[in-house]
Amino acid sequence: EIRPHDSSYLLTMDGGPIEIIQIPKWLKFVPLFESEWRVIKRVVTPLYKILDINQQQEIEKLFSKQDHILMTNTTTILDFYTGYQRIEFNSKLKSSNYQIFGKVVDADGQSFTDIYVEFSLKSEYGFSVNWIQAGVTYYMDFSDSDILNE
């Protein structure tokens, strides 16, 4: 008789009790009765495998060791001659550990080959874009009444 919460017994596959101290003896006889062996197969299925195949593939891509594009966007440059613009994300990222790739294109999507772009000041909230057009000199008009009066 098995008493409730008695840890000195286990149950066999047939539901019968076996005393823990009898397991080594029982295991010696198991090879003699191969015809009574049963294969028990447990299949562990990851939770994402219940999703449709497209979602499964997207999740598998994220966990592979390749780089992935997680976000894309096009932003209009507000003032081309400033050479600088801050880009803010719609929502805060979990980290500032990301890479940015980009270029300056016209309204038709054609890229400029003479504009160099640099990304800086990355944070969870956004980043800065700096650009300069090669071969073009910009002049700054500066006047100060104190300097002019000297």
Q: Domain extents for the chain? A: 80-133
DSSP the chain: -PPTT-TTEEE-TTS-EEEGGGHHHHHHHGGGGGGG----------GGGGS-HHHHHHHHHHHSSS-----------S-GGG-EEEEE-SS--S-S--------B-TTSPBPSSEEEEEE---SSEEEEEEEETT---------HHHHT-
Reported as a single tens digit per residue, the pLDDT across 58-104 is 888 877 766 666 777 777 777 777 888 898 888 888 888 888 888 88
Query: What mean pLDDT do residues 106-130 have?
Result: 86
In terms of pTM, does the model score above 0.75?
A: no
